[in-house]
Chains A and B, each alone.
Chain A
Amino acid sequence: MRVARWLVLVAVLLAGCVAPTADPARDGQGRITFVDSWDLSKRQIKQRVDEWNARAGRHEQVTYVPLPSPTDAYRAQLMARAQDLVGARGDYQAQCYDVMTLDVVWTAEFAEAGYLAPLTPAEFDVDRFLPAAVESSTTGDGRLWAVPWRADAGVLYYRSDLLSAAHEVSPPTWSDLERIAESLGPANGMAGYVGQLDRYEGLTVNALEAVWAHGGGPVPQWDSAEARAGIGALARGVEEGWIPRDALTYDESDSLREFAEGRAVFLRNWPYARALLEASPLKGRFGMAALPGPAALGGWNVAVSRCSKHQATARKFIRFLTGEDSQRALLEQAGYPPTLRALYREPALNARLPHLGVLRGALVTARNRPPTAHYDEVSRVVQGAVHASLRNPGSLDAELGQLTSDVTRALSGR
């Protein structure tokens, strides 16, 4: 009898050993910490978390930690904490940022360094999301590391009053844009076009979009006719003056200010600028359209940290955060463009938010900046070469020729 009991026990243990049983962290449930860059909409993100906390059980509460808004500071904090907690067990894990919001361009870096827990596409039904956003959450081997949450894409703002007076419409091609900017700018005593041409991430985005608008492929070949045409168009604008030389020091808010205060015909910026322009004296005199070429995809993904010991709760929270109700609320109350395709097609939403159609157009064709674990460095060398080309158009060919090998080096992390 006693022997039989032992045998049963051994059999149970063996079964537990051979059968694929639960990994405690992967299936762990419990309190989690959710970090996001500082919420510019003030309360909307917190409201989503409060809503979760009201519904979730006491042991699955989420602590919301908004971190500093300059994204480089936010990234530095996330990266340092992830590096600190590699392999951490026990009490240390309480310091883990279980769920993190990651800029689309960092997702590959965090994934390849091993700081994220892999996700199963089926669990999040990723087919419902914008394909480019899903692509930004996926590494080259096809594994999913994050779920798209807030989308973003470059758009073109234009002075509708000036364009219609000149019987023009928003330019479908870059050469149309150039033609209108060149004529309407000087005619109205203002700049033709402003974008983000200071030497920072914005310049990489503007440069890629210019190359794409001139026929460049998704992965930029810098030593190509398309790249020379795209960067050359910006350089020409600066040389001829319809892009002001000061734009070489503009970021998002500088360029927005120039446009909002009536000193430019066209502005390349992100969708957030629309609400600010609506509240400016320019209200009723501007329009928003898709760029004359593919836009660069921006936005934020949410990921589960590998150090999390409550990954099941973390995934459940991400499903809530990226779900339709939450995204609809963020769109309607904070203006964050959603990542779920269905929301762009909803008639009621489109009726209330007429700009949704433009956003949808921009996002459907939007492209990712080249995904790489060494994105920062790649972007840094691109900024250096493009900024030099814009300052001194004579150096453009040499700069772009050199850029290819610099990018290759940067891509390898060297």
Chain B
Amino acid sequence: MGTPRPAVHRTMLAVDVSGFGALDLSQQQAVRHGLYGALEAAFAECGVPWTDDWDGTYHEDRGDGLFVLVPAGVPNSRVVSALPHALVGQLRRYNAMFRPQTGIRLRAAITAGEVLNDGNGVMGDGLVLAFRLLDCAPLREELKRRPGELALIVSDRFYRDVVREDAGCDPDSFRRVAVDVKEVRGTAWIGRPDHPRAPTRPRPALPRVRWAVPVLVALLVAPLSCDALLAAPAPEPPCPDPVQLNVLTSAEKADVVRTLAAEFEDRSRSFDDTGCKQVDVHVAVGASEPSAAALGRGWPDGDTAAMSPEPHVWLPDTRWELDEVRAVLEGSGRSDVELVDREPVAYSPLVLGVAPGRARDGAFQWRDLAAFRTLAPVDPAGSGADLAAAVALERAELGGEVLDARVLGGADVARRLRDVALRTAPEPAAVCPAGDRAVLGSEKAIRDLTCLRVLYPAEGTVHLNHPFVAVVRHDRPPNRRRDAVVERFLGHLRDGPAQEAFRHAGFRDRDWVPEPHEGIRPERPAELPLRVDAAAVRAAWRAADPPTRVVLAVDGSERAEQLAVRLTELVGPRGRVLRLDFAPDELAGVVERGVAEFGADQPIVILSGGAPAAAAVRPAVLDSPVTVFGVGFADRACSAVSQLGVFQAAYRGDCFEERDVDGALDRVADGLWGAGG
């Protein structure tokens, strides 16, 4: 209580917990804790920090309840218009989390007047009035008669001076009552900032006397009905708004997650004794790379508009996607979004699906993968499952345990991955019923393709580990209700029935157990040891895969001709080679010719086997942004004074001086299909 303080004029809020005395000690403690938390949050919501000093929100405990002095300078109208609403909201949230026995219902009084602190405690007429009003019968009756969290009373003077003067205080919602407690007699006003519903059953009109007697008699002679009346349930309190939970899932899990989310909503009615539906779940399906990119940007409104609501839970197919976003967040120094890995909710191994006739022994070697062409197309930007397929394809070709930007930027990688990409079909198409394509996909996806059989890789495979990722926002106030719901949703997905649903949908459960199914091996396939940079894998595949148009300008020398043949194979059926033959002395005009004949939309690759012609004739430099790759097999083919060197300086692209055809092929392939190109 401390320092004596002179009298000052303050607005004060006194509150009293209804039914506090009937609680046991531990319940009382819980309620007090909840009440303080609610008050603190409600004041904060109104812009008033909760402090304990005399000039701030000075407060004292008074048995069942407490009072708070509102800091001077906070308008009275705000204390009436905003604070009770905020308090109701906080109480609803608190009550929604706890069992009804410790739910809080408050009587509150707001008064204003002089208060002073004599060192032993605060006193003042306004304070006395507040506690008298709190105690009055109409206010107690109000809370008894109607459900809700908060009944508010103000003195007549306060009503006339403050409430009535400000529409924001909603004066019409108050009703006048007569008060007679101790020395306080007269008028006061009761408001219900919680807007309770009318009592569920309208109060029956009082029976007339001639009915009252038979009714009484009936009640007296029928103790059973008496019991029944006593046992009639009290009106149910209104339910708080359900917590909105937005889930972003991969397409592969979309169906099962939608079903499980609907079950979760239903199940939320039994989270506590109120029976209230506590959760609304929205399930959105997101493509892998766009989802990862949006999360890395903090999912701004533009991404909400283009895709789906900001997710609270992300269910990608692989942990690599999670690592990818984390790397982006870390790289850009963002701390507003944090992804919390809550472990897998299901698994699926990557397998090969082939037509039954080709599935001889149920297994294959990665190095024999080339034998199973044509493979269905792989789109690592579209789904995590396809990302895993691209990982497997790239690893099978390149070997090693690491797939990152350094490894994927290796000298011959672009050429080799282009070769691999050419073994996949250029366009997606239905696989079944023909079964004319092999599919590298999750065990679940292959099981769904009923015309294919599952082949397991003998040396082990890539695992889709379906992590549950909680998206935590540090740029928002903590939302404990939602945190609790996220936790429960995780529990729901890990629970027996949900795990069975995952198995039934073709996934493996958290113990790697599959649903028994023809061709599905029950044991857990070994996992290939791999370190993967998802962004690098996607970039390498994106560069290697697309259709390519290229102008091939060949000077007729032997090595140039050999290289032209090899390059034409690499363009393959996926693209088109536009051939341009030229004599060595026409080199200076080749770019001009290429653009004149074919336009500037595709790169021009110039294969020059002759001695480096000095740029005697300065080539015409075109305005069009054409890409030119020059290959010279002679010494100093790319020097600044050579024709190719001049092209290099003038256009986008590069110049490669190489002795042998293989080396030149790798370098041109890197220019055309390399991730850095």
Contacts and interface: CB of A to CB of B under 8 A. Distances in A.
Interface of A: 13-14, 16-18, 20-26, 35, 38, 65-68, 72-73, 76-77, 79-81, 83-89, 92, 95, 109, 112-114, 118, 120, 139-143, 373-374, 376-377, 412-414
B101 interface: no
B45 A89 contact: yes
23 contacts: A14-B9, A17-B72, A17-B112, A20-B77, A20-B162, A23-B77, A23-B82, A73-B282, A76-B244, A76-B282, A77-B310, A83-B243, A86-B89, A87-B45, A87-B90, A95-B475, A112-B238, A113-B240, A118-B168, A141-B195, A373-B238, A413-B276, A414-B274
Nearest to A86: B89
A252 to B, nearest CB: 21
A17 B75 contact: yes
Contacts of B243: 83
Contact of A72 (B76, B172, B277, B282): B282
Given A14-B9, A20-B75, A83 B482 contact: yes
Contacts of A81: 310
Q: Which of A76, A86, A414 is packed against the most chain B CB atoms within 10 Å?
A: A76
Q: Which of B72, B92, B236, B301 is packed against the most chain A CB atoms within 10 Å?
A: B301
Nearest to A14: B9
B277 A374 contact: yes
Q: Which of B162, B172, B244, B245 is packed against the most chain A CB atoms within 10 Å?
A: B244
Nearest to B245: A80
Contacts of A20: 75-77, 162, 165-166, 169
B426 to A, nearest CB: 32
B277 A26 contact: no
B81 A23 contact: yes
B614 interface: no
A102 to B, nearest CB: 14
A315 to B, nearest CB: 12
A118 B304 contact: no
Contacts of B173: 141, 143
A73 B476 CA distance: 20
Given A17-B73, A89-B44, A109-B241, A67 B301 contact: yes
B167 interface: yes
Contacts of A22: 75
A66 B306 CA distance: 9
A125 to B, nearest CB: 14
Nearest to B479: A84
Q: Which of B78, B173, B304, B310 is packed against the most chain A CB atoms within 10 Å?
A: B304
Given A13-B72, A118-B168, A89 B47 contact: yes
Given A17-B72, A67-B301, A88-B45, 9 more contacts: A16-B75, A23-B78, A67-B304, A67-B305, A68-B307, A81-B310, A84-B473, A89-B47, A412-B236
Nearest to B74: A17
B165 A77 contact: no
B238 to A, nearest CB: 7
Interface size class of B (residues with CB under 8 A): 35 or more
A211 B350 CA distance: 54
A128 to B, nearest CB: 19
Contacts of B72: 13, 17
B461 interface: no
Contacts of A374: 239, 277
B86 interface: yes
Contacts of B85: 114
B214 interface: no
B459 to A, nearest CB: 44
Contact of B88 (A14, A21, A76, A114): A114
Nearest to B85: A114
A88 B242 CA distance: 19
Interface string B227-249: 00000000010111111111000
Interface in B530-576: none
A66 B305 contact: yes
Q: Which of A14, A18, A88 is packed against the most chain B CB atoms within 10 Å?
A: A18
Interface string B266-296: 0001000011110010101000000000000
Contacts of B433: none
B161 interface: yes
* SS class, residues of chain B in contact with chain A: mixed
A85 B475 CA distance: 10
Contact of B45 (A38, A86, A120): A86
A414 B77 contact: no
Contacts of A25: 47, 82
B13 interface: no
B282 A120 contact: no
A388 to B, nearest CB: 17
A374 B277 CA distance: 9
A141 B239 CA distance: 17
Interface string B291-323: 000000000010011111110100000000000
Contact of A84 (B75, B169, B239, B476): B476
A377 B475 contact: no
B442 interface: no
A17 B276 contact: no
A76 B280 contact: yes
A83 B481 contact: yes
Contacts of B481: 83
A23 B167 CA distance: 12
Given A86-B45, A143-B170, A77 B11 contact: no
B76 A68 contact: no
A23 B73 CA distance: 11
Contacts of A65: 301, 305
B477 interface: yes
Contacts of A113: 240-241
Contact of B168 (A18, A23, A109): A23
B68 to A, nearest CB: 15
A17 B45 contact: no
A73 B309 contact: yes
B476 A376 contact: no
Nearest to B196: A141
A87 B236 contact: no
B403 interface: no
Nearest to A81: B310
Nearest to B237: A412
Contacts of B241: 79, 83, 109, 112-113, 373
A38 B246 contact: no
A17 B195 contact: no
A30 to B, nearest CB: 15
Interface string B81-120: 1100110111011000000000000000000100000000
Given A20-B77, A412-B238, A413-B276, A87 B282 contact: no
Interface in B37-90: 41-42, 44-45, 47, 72-78, 81-82, 85-86, 88-90
A84 B246 contact: no
A82 B161 CA distance: 33
Contacts of A87: 41-42, 44-45, 86, 89-90, 477
